[in-house]
Structure 1
Amino acid sequence: MARTKPQNVCVRAGSKPPLLFLDVDGTLLPRPAAAPSVEEIDWSAWQQPTNPALSGLTRVLGDRLLGLGCELMWATGWGDDANRVIAPILGLPQLPVARLPEYPGGDYYDDELHWKTRTLVSLAEGRRFIWIDDEIRQQDMAWVRGNHCGRALLHRVDGFRGLLDTDFAVLTEWLLAT
């Protein structure tokens, strides 16, 4: 897979709202403590409206996400299914979907970067952005600092707890400081 370095063109900070790249699994849908390994999950069933984990989603969460004032974009392996299944439950409009590279069979490439990192920085095109995910690591944060000229917050959520009030406090504080 060819990997290109993202363009390093910055957009004036105040010209557009920040992007918010939103993961689903582990972020909006916490993993149960007895969750099978990623390899054992039947993803075709997991991404259906009948998934029992969806019962924890509410419009309040959707309102809180919209209330951040960011341009929301799905950054998830759910792809277009996030708009079909998740968005209506949260009361979100149809959101743009980040076209991610093919899942490499593990969450990290050989160079230790998460499989979404390069794509999201490229999509940001120098704009301020937030990436909320349960798999972000220090390597991703360091790479973004060195390859993205705009402000960025890579916020790791506890995948067994999902997005909480404390996470929203961090997001809001960062947005107020930008």
Structure 2
Amino acid sequence: MTFVDVDGVLIPFRARSTGVRRFGSGVGDAVDGFGNPLLDRLDPADGGRLLALPGELVWASTWMAEANEVVAPRLGLPVLAVVDWPDDDEELGRGVHWKTVRLARWAAGRAFVWLDDEITDADRRWVAAHHSQPALLHRVDPCLGLVDADLAAVRRWLEKQEATG
């Protein structure tokens, strides 16, 4: 199972290189029909690259259901499961991201990958101490978004899990 964040992972904070096909009609586009000017930063190839990974993809983003409505169609992804975030402010250990505990619970004792731009060593330590199965918490550079090196690292890890599992 691979948890995928949107902002900073699929929508980098910096505009992508000019080699990436954009969704807007031209350079002057400020926003699309969804009112988000950053959707132009999505790389349509990311959908196929994510689908090529072994296992299930799950949205782990504050976009929640809108990830299926707005992001998935632009990437050619099917409707994916969505992690619902609780409204409570559960007290976590120092530096642990607010998503960490919920994702470990969602994985329910299964191995998982988490692609996010806000992962830290505190999250890795928390998961190692509280999750019984292997987990790869892979930080994506939010300025670049998801790149080939990220996907290669995830693929290697997932294939290793399949081989040992």
**The two structures share one fold, judged by TM-score above 0.5:** yes
The 5-angstrom pairing of residues 5-154 of structure 1 reads: 19-32=1-14, 49-102=34-87, 111-154=94-137
Q: Secondary structure at the match of 1:122?
A: helix
Deviations 1:2-49 (A, max 9, x none): xxxxxxxxxxxxxxxxx111100101001138xxxxxxxxxxxx9973
Q: RMSD of the alignment, in Å?
A: 2.2
Deviating 4+ runs (over 4 angstroms): none
Q: Secondary structure at the match of 1:175?
A: helix
Deviations 1:113-141 (A, max 9, x none): 10000000000011110000000000000
TM-score (norm 2): 0.80
Percent of pairs identical after alignment? 46
Q: Secondary structure at the match of 2:82?
A: coil
Sort the Cα spacing of 1:148 and 1:161 in 2 relative to 1 into closer, same or farther, 3 A. Answer: same
1:49 partner letter:
F
Bigger RCO of structures 1 and 2 (CA < 8 A, at least 6 apart): 1
Unaligned runs of 5+ in 1: 1-18, 34-45
Deviations 1:91-122 (A, max 9, x none): 11111110112386xxx956321000000000
Sort the Cα spacing of 1:144 and 1:101 in 2 relative to 1 into closer, same or farther, 3 A. Answer: same
